[in-house]
């Protein structure tokens, strides 16, 4: 069984990508997928304000993400992105930005098709994708509001009290 755990300061300095050997430069937080005591995937991130660069205000940027070769296709990357999005939504982060590519991906440039499937939109052609976390939140609220309205409209009228017949003169 695997679990998703927050990265600590030691992880941020020492967890190297198994594909290229790089550690997550500039990352200040993130999550790791752990199975049987071994790290099988990582998503490391930083606030856009800490990184500088052409990022939207209030954004968080994926600095590095990887899954071990033998664990690819087990949806670990998807789970890490979902965990990040859920945690960042509670922190009122505006969007999650991920560098990507339609070319050869690496731990600092995720596959564009993967990002598209997860709900990111291409914001800088072939280079940067973003997931608007505020828009993502509004959908459930809107659906809940519509469901409440439909419930009120369909609700039957209240029945007359049992001691009254409802006929005039009775």
Structure confidence at residue 138 (pLDDT)? 44
CA-closest candidate to residue 29, choices 53, 54, 52, 5: 5
Structure confidence at residue 108 (pLDDT)? 96
Going from N- to C-terminal start, the domains of the chain cover 2-154
Whether residue 147 has pLDDT greater than 70: no
Whether residue 134 has pLDDT greater than 70: yes
Structure confidence at residue 139 (pLDDT)? 46
User: The tokens of 136 are what?
Assistant: 């993502």
pLDDT digits (tens, 9 = 90+) for 34-53: 999 999 999 999 999 999 88
pLDDT digits (tens, 9 = 90+) for 109-118: 999 999 999 9
User: Which DSSP symbol is given to 43?
Assistant: E
Kindly report the length of the chain.
170
pLDDT digits (tens, 9 = 90+) for 78-109: 999 999 999 999 888 999 999 999 999 999 99
User: The tokens of 55 are what?
Assistant: 């990022």
Taking domain 2-154, whether its CATH number is 2.60.120.260 is answered by: no
Structure confidence at residue 41 (pLDDT)? 97
Task: State the helix-helix crossing angle for 133-154 and 76-90, rounded to 10 degrees.
Answer: 80
Return the H-helix or E-strand segment holding 32: strand 29-35
What average pLDDT is seen over the chain? 88
Structure confidence at residue 152 (pLDDT)? 66
pLDDT digits (tens, 9 = 90+) for 50-70: 998 889 989 999 999 999 999
Q: Phi then psi for 10, rounded to 5 degrees?
A: -65, -45
Contact criterion met (CB below 8 Å) for 3 and 29: no
User: Which DSSP symbol is given to 109?
Assistant: B
């Amino acid at each position: 069984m695997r679990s998703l755990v927050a990265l600590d300061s030691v992880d941020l300095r020492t967890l190297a990508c198994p594909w290229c050997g790089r550690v997550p430069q500039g990352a200040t937080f993130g999550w790791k997928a752990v199975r049987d005591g071994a790290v099988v995937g990582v998503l490391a991130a930083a606030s856009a304000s800490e990184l500088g660069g052409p990022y939207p205000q209030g954004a968080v940027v994926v600095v590095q993400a990887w899954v071990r070769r033998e664990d690819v296709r087990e949806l670990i990357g998807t789970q890490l992105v979902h965990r990040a999005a859920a945690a960042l939504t509670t922190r009122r982060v505006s969007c999650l930005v991920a560098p990507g590519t339609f070319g050869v991906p690496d731990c600092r440039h995720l596959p564009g098709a993967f990002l598209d499937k997860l709900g990111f939109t291409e914001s800088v052609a072939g280079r940067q994708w973003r997931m608007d976390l505020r828009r993502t939140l509004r959908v459930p609220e809107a659906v809940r509001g519509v469901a409440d309205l439909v419930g009120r409209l369909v609700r039957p009228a209240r029945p007359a009290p049992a001691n009254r017949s409802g006929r005039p003169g009775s």
